[in-house]
Structure 1
Amino acid sequence: MIQPIPPAPRPRNTAFTPLTDDWRQWIAENRLRECTPESMVVTMAGAGLDPEECRQAIARMESDPAFRAARRMQQVQRKLESVTLNLQKLWESSPFYGRIEKRTSPSRDEFIERYVLGCRPVVLTDVARDWPAMQRWSPADLKQRFGHLTVEIQDERNADPKYEENKLQHRRVVPLAPFVDRVMAGGPTNDYYMTANNEALRRPEFAPLLADIGSLPPACDRSQLAARSSFWFGPAGTLTPLHHDTIMLFHTQVVGRKRWRLISPLETPRLYNYNNVFSPIDIDRPDLGRYPLFGQVTVLDVTVEPGETIFLPLAWWHQVTSLDVSLSFSYTNLDGPNTFSYQNAEITNW
């Protein structure tokens, strides 16, 4: 996959665009991606560079000391990638790998061993059986009880392909009652969504929502619920793009259904994860010309129904679509270790 070319406007009084340091970096990056010199020359010549100068620059790159050092580090990286992908191959050898289990009342010990330490997603079908929220929550109830309050939403998402990465730019504080009306009247859309970032449950005015939560899954610390939970509300059609979280979490559907597509963290080398916790791949419309390794990825698929709770193990990739108007409750208050560190790349222009 050849990377996008760096900006390099053609000077007025020269026949060719100059070969700048940005272009030399581009050469190094694309050779590390094993792009052929011939394909690179075609791209560079198409941008106005001298083909012969390009061939010479590509040839010189192979003997550049910094590039040779990068090749050594690449060997180390590829060893780590081979370890994770071999482990993934082992996981996939299980006849049950391709199906996300739906379980009723696993014991705490089984839940910890099989799903937390075993790093396996699962849907728990009975967690919310005694939740007052299951009988009470609805858009109308939300409007009646809390409509006079303001909430934080994401807005104008459709105009930005990277709306989740740029979520702070889409932050809006709006009155809740008109937002409920907007959701109910607007039909399926991804343009606006009240997501986990709203922090409403940290405000005492929204404490009645927490009072509507009953029994919790195994291995949860009730005393941490208020501090480590989030409320979600939005129309059918909202899409949370492919990413991984940095902690483990539960996500309970109260109203509506959500479709979860999940990918093992061991497949990270195939997901082009260059910027923080995000992948540029849309599972619904993968561009295999640009992201060919995704063609080898195994995607798990499950629909979480009202009253069901999905457990997301550590670092599992997921893309989530609301199939209906949706009210959801997520929480990260496991009573064991749930703080982890990641060395995230921060490359935003690949």
Structure 2
Amino acid sequence: MNASTLMPAPRPREIEAEARPIDNGWLQWVAENKLRNCAMESMLQTMTAAGLSRAESEAAIVRMDSDPAYLAAKRYQQMQRKFESVLANQQKLWESSPHYGRVEKRSHVPRDEFIERYVRGSRPLVLTEAARDWPARTRWSPQDLKTRFGHLDVEIQAERNADANYEQNKLEHRRTVRLGSFVDQVLAGGATNDYYLTANNEVLRRPEFAPLLKDIGTLPEICDPAQLAQRSSFWFGPAGTRTPLHHDTLMLMHTQIVGRKRWRFISPLETPKLYNHFRVYSPIDLDAPDLVRHPDFASVKVLEVIVEPGETMFLPLGWWHQVTSLDVSLSFSYSNLAIPNDFTYVNAEIHNW
């Protein structure tokens, strides 16, 4: 190409004219990052890398300090930080107990003590003998499932490995399969998180699965047996299935019939450090926490316990938990506590933060 055919170099003013406009989406991004105390230079690097003018970006960041909506948000931020400090101080008191880091295992707890120490005291607990007389303990197995119910269709979650948010998107992972075929898949497939028959299957509401409920024996004193059929769930899957970090909106018992599960817990008072922007889920993976993206998590205390076959996990209200099956697993959970067990959470619905 001859020099005469080259276009003249654009003047600085023309370069600025070609930059992307700073629209409302970017102004919201500036406000959010200023509320997070991000450094101006870091924000400018992101904005210019996206094609925005550096001069206009810097001006927008400076103007944000006098924006009325931003100033209102700063006031609410002060109130939020006060609430967070209240939770942090209460958590500090909880952790001052020499026994805080251990999940207790007990064979039996009288009803009144259970309510005061574990329900109102909000402490996870493993009951080692709560299912001692259950026929399920000697009867249930993958082969028993196939023999008694293998001809029936059930709903499972499938293709979970292809979606990092498989639990949030669980409706998209619903698949109907023949239970006998699913038993074969679980036994042949080895350890995986790709498929799991979870509580969402609702099989215990179906009359043809009523024999499973007949295999449940005496319940803990804190429970109401009359509500068992309506407030119970059945779980079956391979080793390696994982329920990601989340909290439930009620209290429940979870009995391990076959196989072991690893439960890890985080106090509900630590919620501000768990980046809970969407419903009841945290984006943090306890197996591989990303402290660059989630630095506040570095100071969080995680409790851990292995629940063995025949043991029952009591999940107190609001405790965050991540659960991993260590073996092929059959489990039974129930929330029919004979005390108020209905609570309301006002959850955020932020998808892209």
Give the match for residue 113 of structure 2.
110
Instruction: Give yes or no for the alignment of 1:233 onto 2:236.
Output: yes
**Correspondence 1:196-275 to 2 at 5 A:** 196-275=199-278
Per the normalisation by structure 1, the TM-score is 0.96
Instruction: Give yes or no for the alignment of 1:127 onto 2:143.
Output: no
Query: Residues 129-176 of structure 1: CA distance to partner in whole angstroms, max 9, x if unpaired?
Result: 100000000000000000011111000000000000000000111110
- Between the aligned partners of 1:218 and 1:239, the Cα distance in structure 2 is 30
The answer on whether the counterparts of 1:111 and 1:218 sit within 8 Å (CA) in structure 2 is no
What is the deviation of 1:274?
0.2
Give the match for residue 314 of structure 1.
317
Instruction: Give yes or no for the alignment of 1:193 onto 2:205.
Output: no
Q: Greater Rg, structure 1 or structure 2?
A: 2
After the TM superposition, which parts of structure 1 deviate over 3 Å for at least 4 consecutive aligned residues? none
Partner of 1:89, secondary structure, is helix
Per the normalisation by structure 2, the TM-score is 0.95
- Between the aligned partners of 1:193 and 1:337, the Cα distance in structure 2 is 30
Partner of 2:137, secondary structure, is helix
Which of 336, 343, 346 matches 2:346?
343
Which of 28, 33, 38 matches 2:36?
33
**Correspondence 1:60-139 to 2 at 5 A:** 60-139=63-142
What is the deviation of 1:218?
2.5
Give the match for residue 3 of structure 2.
none
Query: Residues 236-270 of structure 1: CA distance to partner in whole angstroms, max 9, x if unpaired?
Result: 00010000000000000000000000000000000
Partner of 2:330, secondary structure, is strand
Aligned amino acid, residue 111 of structure 1: F
Q: Which runs of 5+ in 2 are unaligned?
A: 1-14
The answer on whether the counterparts of 1:271 and 1:281 sit within 8 Å (CA) in structure 2 is yes
Partner of 1:286, secondary structure, is coil
Out of 96-105 and 43-52, give the one that drifted further: 43-52
Partner of 1:30, secondary structure, is helix
Give the match for residue 330 of structure 1.
333
What is the deviation of 1:305?
0.3
Query: Residues 294-317 of structure 1: CA distance to partner in whole angstroms, max 9, x if unpaired?
Result: 001000000000000000000000
Instruction: Give yes or no for the alignment of 1:20 onto 2:20.
Output: no
Query: Residues 210-249 of structure 1: CA distance to partner in whole angstroms, max 9, x if unpaired?
Result: 0000111221000000000000000000010000000000
- Between the aligned partners of 1:315 and 1:329, the Cα distance in structure 2 is 20
Distance 1:159 1:14, change over 3 A: farther
Give the match for residue 298 of structure 1.
301
What is the deviation of 1:63?
0.5
Q: How many residues align?
A: 339
- Between the aligned partners of 1:300 and 1:205, the Cα distance in structure 2 is 39
The answer on whether the counterparts of 2:204 and 2:229 sit within 8 Å (CA) in structure 1 is yes
Give the match for residue 54 of structure 2.
51
The answer on whether the counterparts of 2:16 and 2:53 sit within 8 Å (CA) in structure 1 is no
- Between the aligned partners of 1:251 and 1:173, the Cα distance in structure 2 is 25
Aligned amino acid, residue 183 of structure 2: V
The answer on whether the counterparts of 2:155 and 2:175 sit within 8 Å (CA) in structure 1 is yes
Aligned amino acid, residue 275 of structure 1: F
